[in-house]
């Protein structure tokens, strides 16, 4: 009986040697994050801590937060903590996912992502504002029409974004004139009280 157990033990060791190893990669750093919102501006604030696998905080780590609008960079403090307000996020309603990459001077890396939501209503002006905030729109909105004399597609896009901008301002002006009418009515009604 004991010979069978020894034989099975040796056989299992050899069998384990032939099982392929996993190709899973562990990141060197662990990033834990949370999202809060500024009480003044409502912009998202991402804070977190960068640790190693022994849960030891790592100081002086470069933390890059990538959004659709660019990258914001900060670093961790003595306790491995970081906080950054995402002022480059437009206040456009929707769900946002940001990627967070932490890198040490000696090349250790950690990657995570977090999701947050900007709450509001999808209005015509918010949809247009989102379209006008793209890099392509900004390129054509900052150009002069004569830059597209020999580029008919560029000229069409220039006109398209100019019309969108005019439509956006028309909507915003209608909102503002509605507010001023309400405040004029309130003032008039106050006089009769």
CATH number at residue 45: 2.60.40.10
In a domain, 193, yes or no: no
Does 160 share its domain with 110? no
- State pTM to two decimals: 0.53
Residue 117: the pLDDT is 82
Instruction: Please tell me whether residue 189 adopts helix, strand or coil conformation.
Output: helix
| Tens-place pLDDT, residues 172-191 | 888 777 554 444 444 444 44
In a domain, 6, yes or no: no
Domain ends where: 94, 118, 142? 118
Does 59 share its domain with 111? yes
In a domain, 20, yes or no: no
In a domain, 95, yes or no: yes
In a domain, 111, yes or no: yes
In a domain, 170, yes or no: yes
| Tens-place pLDDT, residues 73-89 | 999 999 999 999 887 66
Determine the structural domain holding residue 61 and report its residue range.
30-118
Residue 67: the pLDDT is 80
Burial group, residue 61, by CB count within 10 angstroms (0-12, 13-18, 19+): buried
pLDDT tier for residue 13 given thresholds of 50, 70 and 90 = low
- Taking the C-alpha atoms of residue 153 and residue 158, their distance in angstroms, rounded to an integer, is 9
Find how far residue 123's CA is from the centre of its chain: 21
Does 38 share its domain with 65? yes
| Tens-place pLDDT, residues 107-132 | 899 999 998 887 766 677 777 877 88
CA-only gyration radius of the chain, Å: 28
Q: Any idea which of 88-92, 143-147, 157-161, 162-166 has the lowest mean pLDDT?
A: 88-92
What is the number of structural domains in the chain? 2
């Amino acid at each position: 009986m004991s010979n069978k157990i020894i034989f099975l033990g040796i056989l299992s060791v050899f069998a384990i040697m032939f099982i392929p190893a996993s190709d899973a990669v562990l990141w060197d750093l662990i990033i834990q994050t949370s999202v809060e919102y500024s009480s003044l501006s409502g912009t998202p604030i991402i804070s977190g801590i960068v640790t190693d696998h022994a849960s030891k905080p790592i100081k002086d780590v470069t933390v890059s937060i990538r959004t659709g609008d660019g990258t914001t960079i900060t670093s961790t403090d003595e306790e491995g903590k970081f906080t950054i307000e995402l002022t480059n996020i437009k206040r456009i309603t929707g769900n946002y996912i940001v990627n967070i990459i932490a890198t040490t001077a000696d090349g250790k890396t950690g990657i995570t992502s977090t999701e947050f939501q900007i709450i509001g209503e999808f209005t015509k002006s918010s949809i247009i504002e989102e379209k006008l905030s793209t890099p392509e729109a900004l390129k054509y909105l900052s150009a002069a029409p004569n830059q597209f004399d020999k580029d008919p597609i560029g000229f069409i896009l220039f006109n398209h974004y100019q019309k969108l901008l005019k439509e956006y301002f028309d909507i915003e002006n209608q909102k503002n004139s509605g507010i001023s009418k309400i405040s004029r009515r309130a003032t008039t009604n106050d006089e009769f009280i």
